[in-house]
Amino acid sequence: MGKKWGEQMKNWLTRSMNLPEDVMMDLPRITMIGQLHIYIENHRGLLTFSDKEVRLLLTKGQLLIKGQSFTIKTILPEEILIEGKVEKLVYLEG
């Protein structure tokens, strides 16, 4: 009952108080500017980085970003700004 009830409570609070889902549900917020920039907030850490692939840990799963010529412009504990050509975003569950 505890975990399921907690999720139901978060859903109710999000709807009734009109709060952003990314904040209440602990979801990542992903902002892209074309294929040139990708800004991810609310991640849990950088797992891998190369000029063609970035993998971030999320609360539930991982985010895989594939492309070309990646560089990290800004990295903070829960935020990252990557420049390069973004070709694919994949959410990996589990």
Put simply, whether the predicted model's pTM sits higher than 0.85 gets the answer no
Instruction: With respect to residue 57, please indicate whether it lies within any of the assigned structural domains.
Output: yes
| Average of per-residue pLDDT across 62-77 | 97
For 1-27, the pLDDT digits (tens) are 566 776 776 666 666 666 555 555 678
Instruction: With respect to residue 35, please indicate whether it lies within any of the assigned structural domains.
Output: yes
Q: Where do the DSSP E strands lie in the chain?
A: 29-33, 37-41, 45-49, 53-58, 61-76, 79-92
Instruction: With respect to residue 55, please indicate whether it lies within any of the assigned structural domains.
Output: yes
How far apart are the C-alpha atoms of 57 and 59, rounded to whole Å? 7
Instruction: With respect to residue 76, please indicate whether it lies within any of the assigned structural domains.
Output: yes
Instruction: With respect to residue 5, please indicate whether it lies within any of the assigned structural domains.
Output: no
CATH of the domain at 44: 2.60.40.2000
Give me the number of domains the chain comprises: 1
> What is the domain extent for residue 52?
27-92
Instruction: With respect to residue 36, please indicate whether it lies within any of the assigned structural domains.
Output: yes
